[in-house]
Chains A and B, each alone.
Chain A
C-alpha cells in the first residue's frame, strides 16, 4: 500500500479534457452472449465442414478420425472468431480454456464410460442371487447364469486382504512412527529402501513369493502365500503415506505433551496418533485398495480354483481380480458376463472402502462430537472426585497421592519451559 501525495509545487494542471464519456461499470464475471455464440458457431461450422470433407472430398470412415478432424477445425475456427474481436492474449486464454475443458471432460467421460461399460456388461449376472451365494464348482462353462457364482472369490478376497492387513497395518504403522520418532541414519536408510520398494512391480513381488515360499520352502500354493505377496505390495504404500501424514504433526503439540511430563509412548499414543487419525485411515484405505485389486501376485502364488476354499493355509484360493481374469479368458458369453459382474462387485467393494474411509477418517480431532465430549466430561468428573477423596485423608510421608501428583512430583520438567518463578524478576 503506497499513497501518492500531491506535490504542492507542481505547475498548474492542464484542464481535464471532457472528451471521454462517463465511465460505465465493466462486467467482470458471468458469460457474455457473444462468448456463447462464438462457441456454438464454431462448433456448428466445424461439424459442417468435417461432414462435407468426409463425405465429398476424402473417404473418412472411422468415427474417431472424424472426431479428430472436427476438433481441429473447431479449434481453428474458434481462434479465428475470437481473434476478430479480441487481442492475441485473449485468444490464447480462450483457446486454452476450451482445450482444458475438453481434456478434462474427455478423461472424466472415459472413466465414467469404463465404469458404466463394466456395469452394463455385468448387468446380466448381477440380478441373480446365486451369483453371490454359490461358487463355480457345479457350474460348467455352458451353464446359464442361474447356476454358479462368485461366493468363493468374495470369501477369498476378504480372507486374503484380512491376512494382508493384519501384517501390514501394525508393521507399517510402527515403521512409520519409527521413521518420525527416531530420526537418524538408520531411519534414513529404512526410508530410502521403503521408497525404493514402492517401485516394485507387482508381478515381481508375486514371483519373489513364488520362488521363496512355494518353490524353496515347499509351502503349497495357498491364500497365505497370496496374502504375503499382497502384503509386500501394500507395505511400502502404507509406510510411505503414513510417514507423510505423521511428519505433518505440529511439533508444538508434541512439545506441549513432553512439557506436561508425558513420555514418548504416551505422546505418540495420545497426541500423534489421534491427531493424524484421518490421514492414517486414508493410508490404510489406499494400501487396501491397491492390495485388493492386485491380480498377478495372486495368480502366481495362489492359483485358480472353482470351488470355495475357506482354509488360507492349504490349497488354491481365488480372489476377485483373479476370478475376473479367469472368467473372461473363456469365449462363452455367460462366462464373460460373470467376469464383468465380478468386476462390478470388485468396484463396489473399492467404493465401499472409500466411503468407509470418508466416514471413519473424515472426522478431524478438533471437531469433538457429543459422545466424545460426554466421555471427556465423565473422565474429568471422575478425576475430580478422586482428587477430592485423596486430599481429604492425605497419608503421611512422600508417597504419591494420585496420578496427577505423581506426574508433578516424579516426572521431569522441561528446563526450557519458563516457570512462573523464573519469570518474576
Chain B
C-alpha cells in the first residue's frame, strides 16, 4: 500500500475546449513522517524476531559443534549416552522418540478423524458449538496434566491390555515382550509398565484435541454446494463424506497429523514422567523401558559438564531438525491443498 501524491495539475492550456492537451500527471510516493516512523518500527520488530529466532538456531549449532565434531558420524549410530568418555550417540533415543510419536499418531489420528467428522457432520446443530469449544479447550490443557493421568491412572490399568496384545499379537515383532511369560499366573506386571506404548498413549491423548481441532476446521469448510450435490444425487451421508468432505479436507488432515506428530516428538514432561530410560534401541514397544530426546535432556541437563552440555545441545538440534522437516512438509502439503493455508 503506498500513498500516492499527485503533483499540482499542469497549468490549464490557453485554449480551452480541447481535451488532448492533458499531460500525464507524475505520480510519486511521499509518506508522512509518522508513517515512515511506523514502518521503521515494523521493520525493526520483524528484524528483531528474525534475529532472535535465527540466533536460537545458530547458537544451537554452534554449541553442538563441539560434540558433533568429536563424535563425527558415530553420533548417529551409537546407542549410548556417556558424553564424558566420548561414547555417545542418538541412535537409541532418536528411535525411541520416533516410536513414541508413531504410537501416539497411530492412536490419535483415527480418534481425531472420528471426532472431527462427528462434530462437523453428525452432531446435532444445537450442541455443535459447545463441542467445538470443548475440543479447543482440551487442546489447551497443559501436557503435565496428561502426564499425571498417565502416571497415576493409565500405568496401572493398561497392563492388562498390554499383556493381551503381547500374547495375542506376539508374532508381530514390536509387540513381543522379552522376559514375560504369559502362562505364569504369578508373573508381575512390571515388564509391561513404563513402556513406549504407555508413553505413546499419553502423548496421543495430548495431541488428539489439537489434531481434531484442525481437521474439524477444514471439514467444516467443505463447500455446501458440493455436499448438497452429492446428497441430491442419492448418496448416503457416508458417501457424501467420502466423496466430498474427505477429499476436500485431505490437506488439512495431513497438515493436522504432521502438526500433531511435531508436538508428539517434542513432548517432554509427560514422557519423562512415564518412561524409564534405557539407552539401547528398544523395538519392543510394550516392554518396560524406552527413551526420547527431550526426556534425556530433562534428565541430564543439570549434571552435565560443558562437553556433556554440548552433547545435549547436539541431541536437541537433531530433534529440532526432525520437527523442522516435518513442519515444513506439513505446511507445504496444506498450502497446496484445496482448503488452503488459512488454517
Q: Flag if A236 contacts B114 (CB, 8 Å).
A: no
Q: A258's contact among B1, B111, B131, B208, by CB below 8 Å, is which? A: B1
A132 at interface, CB cutoff 8 A? no
B6 pairs with A207, CB closer than 8 A: no
B interface residues, tally (CB under 8 Å):
103
Whether B112 and A118, one on each chain, are in contact in the complex, defined by CB atoms closer than 8 angstroms, is no
Given contacts A336-B152, A415-B27, is CB(A199)–CB(B320) below 8 Å? Answer: yes
**Are A64 and B313 CB-contacts (below 8 A) given A107-B112, A265-B34, A293-B141?**
no
CB contacts (< 8 Å) of A72 on chain B: these are none
With A64-B164, A286-B140, A296-B294 given, is the CB distance from A174 to B41 under 8 Å?
A: yes
The answer to whether B298 and A412 have CB atoms under 8 Å apart is: no
Q: A203-B294, A321-B269, A336-B152 are in contact. Are A171 and B45 (CB under 8 A)?
A: yes
How would you classify the secondary structure of chain A's contact residues: helix, strand, loop or mixed? Answer: helix
**B239 contacts across to A, CB distance below 8 A:** 89, 93
**Interface segment out of the listed B52-60, B72-80, B83-91, B170-178:** B52-60
Q: Helix, strand, loop or mixed for chain B's interface?
A: helix
Q: Is the CB of B56 within 8 A of A93?
A: no
Q: Which residues of B contact A353 (CB under 8 A)?
A: 140
* A346 contacts across to B, CB distance below 8 A: 142, 144-145
- Is the CB–CB distance between A181 and B238 below 8 Å? no
- A contact residues, total (Cβ < 8 Å): 104
Q: Is B113 an interface residue (CB 8 A)?
A: yes
Q: Which residues of B sit under 8 angstroms from A290, Cβ to Cβ?
A: 140
- Inter-chain contacts of B52 with A (CB < 8 A): 232, 235
Apart from A64-B160, A108-B131, 4 more pairs, CB < 8 Å: A100-B118, A174-B46, A267-B1, A414-B4
Query: Closest 4 interchain pairs by CB?
Result: A103-B114, A293-B142, A62-B160, A201-B266
List chain A positions with a Cβ less than 8 A from chain B: 60-65, 68, 89-90, 92-93, 96-97, 99-104, 106-108, 110-111, 114-115, 117-118, 121, 170-172, 174-175, 177-179, 181-182, 186-187, 189-190, 193-205, 207-208, 210-212, 215, 232, 235-236, 239, 244, 247-248, 254, 258, 263-265, 267-268, 286, 289-290, 292-296, 299-300, 321, 324-325, 328, 336, 339-340, 343, 346-347, 350-351, 353-354, 412-415
Interfacial residues, chain B to chain A (CB-CB below 8 A)? 1, 3-6, 25, 27, 31-32, 34-35, 37-39, 41-43, 45-50, 52-54, 56-57, 59-60, 63, 110-115, 117-119, 121-123, 131, 133-134, 136-138, 140-149, 151-153, 157-158, 160-161, 163-164, 205, 208-209, 212, 236-239, 241, 262, 265-266, 268-269, 273, 293-294, 297-298, 301, 306, 309, 312-313, 316-317, 319-320, 323-324, 326-328, 331, 342
